[in-house]
Amino acid sequence: MRWRARLAAVAGLLLSLVLLAGCWDQMGISDRAAALMVSVAWHPSGRLSWTFFFPNPTVTVNSQSQIKSTRQLYTVSVAADSWAGAERAAQRLLDRHLYLGQLKVLLWSSDMPAEAVATLVDAYNRQGITSKVAYVAAAPARALPHLLQASPQEVVPRLKWEHVFSCGPCEAIRLSQPLWHVWVDVHTPGMSPVVPYIAASGALSQIAVYGRRGPPVIFTPQQTLGWAVLTDRVTREVLSLTRGGARYTVTGVRGHGATRVAWTGGPIQVDVHVAMSGVLAQAPYGTAGRPREVRAIETATARLLLADCQAAVRRANAEHVDPFGYARTLLFEHPQWARAPRGSDWSDVALRAGFAVSFNLTTPGVTS
């Protein structure tokens, strides 16, 4: 009898293994259509255009070299007013099961208003199975189709934009935003959500800032650099300046700021001390080694960065947004101030900022 009891125990254990592994969800990789990218183009009627990008299943390790980059992805385009609607419509055009757990990039058109972006991000984030670490970005609606074509630089399942956003050394300033950051920013008072803005040319040097409503504020590259300096996102920027008719180039610009935020009614008072450093990469021959020259370039570079910071804050004040999250810092320190002044939501309170930028230049190289 004892071996029968043992057999029953083993059978029971095996059964529990099978059941706890969630058999109903078992599906072969060839039966799943795992979307790698989704682009959403806004339309005032509320009926958005959605395009899902899937890896071409014929791309294998052996066929990689033969398949053209334009054939590596296939797309399904639908019109729908919500995520769920878009998923259903896309599923109708697919012979495999649509799966969003591997999504890498979510792009939306830069004319989409803040309310619609919040709804979109919410609806996506609400599902348990979707990938919350997908990168998000905004781009002009007309540029979406060509921006998302497979690049000859990558072979699926790797994607150009995924690589751009996840490649540390590729970014001079860290602009990448995973979806969950944006979701948290949308719902945390005192912060205007920021997403990278990809220009129609494909250049990535700007941000789109979402106010309380309406389309985003697109910062210029200069304002974006100022924003990046103030939010510690500069990692290896290159700056050019002209002094006395000569051109100088400073590379590897990086640094961090110490920020103090205070509020006693009226504008939010911000004091930032930014300590940056860089490497002198180009200077008129024979001048780079002189200490006086180095100090002069340090001052000039610090002034340049200071002007960028001021430009960023001026733009934020003009547009009533706070992409720096200063008001959020304030609320984190003083949670009892949850009630915003005069019916605002904190992120539109004006900023009064004082900056001090110091710059430390090093001059390595074989010549001085």
Partner 1 sequence: MTQPVEPISSGQYLWVMMVSVVAGSVYLWPAYVVKLTGPGAYVSLLAATAVAGGITMLQVGWMRRMAYRSYPAAMQATWSPWLGPVLTWITMLLMLALDAAILYLYGELLQTFFYPATPSWVTVATIGALAVWIAIRSLTVVARNVQFWFPLLLASFVVVLALSTGDMRFPLAATPKWGVSMGSLARASVATWFLYANPCATAALLPHVRPTGRWSAGAVALAAIALQGVILLAILYAALATLGPAVIPDMTWPIIYIFSLIHISSFFVQDIGMLILITWTIAIILHLAVHSYVVAANVGPPLGGHNPQRQYLVAGIGLAMVAGALSVGSVAEAKVWLFQILTPADLAWTVAVVPATALMAWWRTGRAPAPR
Q: Write out the residues near partner 1 by the rule CB under 8 A.
A: 9, 12-13, 16, 19-20, 22-25, 128-129, 132-133, 166, 178, 180-181, 183-184, 187-189, 328-329, 332-333, 335-336
Q: Given the complex with partner 1, which of 254 and 328 has the nearer CB atom?
A: 328
Closer residue to partner 1, CB minimum distance, 189 or 221: 189
Shortest separation between residue 313's beta carbon and partner 1, angstroms: 21
Smallest separation, CB 27 to partner 1 (Å): 9
In the chain the beta strands, taken as DSSP E runs, fall at 32-34, 37-41, 48-55, 73-80, 97-99, 105-109, 135-139, 194-198, 204-209, 217-218, 237-243, 246-262, 268-282, 351-362
Radius of gyration of the chain (CA): 25
Of 181 and 273, the one with the shorter C-beta distance to partner 1 is 181
Least Å from the CB of residue 336 to partner 1: 6
- Minimum CB separation from partner 1 for residue 359, in Å? 27
Nearer to partner 1, 16 or 63 (CB): 16
Nearer of residues 51 and 329 to partner 1, judged by Cβ: 329
- The CB-of-279 to partner 1 minimum distance in angstroms stands at 27
Q: What are 341's two structure tokens?
A: 């002044």
Q: Closest CB to partner 1 among 185 and 308?
A: 185
Shorter beta-carbon distance to partner 1: residue 166 or 282:
166
DSSP secondary structure, 72-118, as one string: SEEEEEEEESSHHHHHHHHHHH-SSEEE-TT--EEEEETTS-HHHHH
Q: What is the DSSP string of 148-174?
A: TSPPTT--TTS-HHHHHHH-GGG-SB-
For residue 139, give both structure tokens: 């781009």
Taking the complex as a whole, the smallest distance from the CB of residue 321 to partner 1 amounts, in Å, to 18
Residue 99: HSE in the Cβ half-sphere, 13 Å Cα cutoff: 16
- The residue behind tokens 């072969």 is 28
Q: Which residue's structure tokens are 């996506």? A: 124
> In angstroms, what is the minimal distance from the CB of 249 to partner 1?
32
Amino acid letter for position 77: S
**Beta carbons within 10 angstroms of residue 295's beta carbon:** 12
